[in-house]
Structure 1
């Protein structure tokens, strides 16, 4: 006897994915709580992450790394500018 497939509306799928991502609970636990097959919820989560990456949205880790890299870049630019000024002063002293 063939199994009947359940259809879940978009809001339910998005809500389930949001629960997994925001609570950091295992997919299996959330699937059990919602009465959804673990593989099905896993597919929803994978698809949502792929869509988000395709749209260019960044994860929290990406945002933190971007902040760190921007701060490092600003520091390196400042160091470069200081070195440029010191070379100019050194050249002026050497040509006197």
Structure 2
């Protein structure tokens, strides 16, 4: 399980917006990312670059899984794991009760 981000969602969105708005002012996109990260106290420019790429996917400007799709896949995987556990419990219970029915009665 991924650890939660130490940066609030609002800060992430603001940082992405600032990079998008200031791309033209810098010689490269990464220079803009480094500058915005330094101004906002984001320790790793790579984190900001990932947020920017995910925002581009979410807006449809870049191919990939959107944040909503990722959340849905995660929820479905959790549900599948839960259903598999329940299925194993039911298999064990049915085997137990089937064995009880096959035993000869003492009375």
Normalising by structure 2, report the TM-score. Answer: 0.42
Whose RCO is larger (CA < 8 A, sep 6+)? Answer: 1
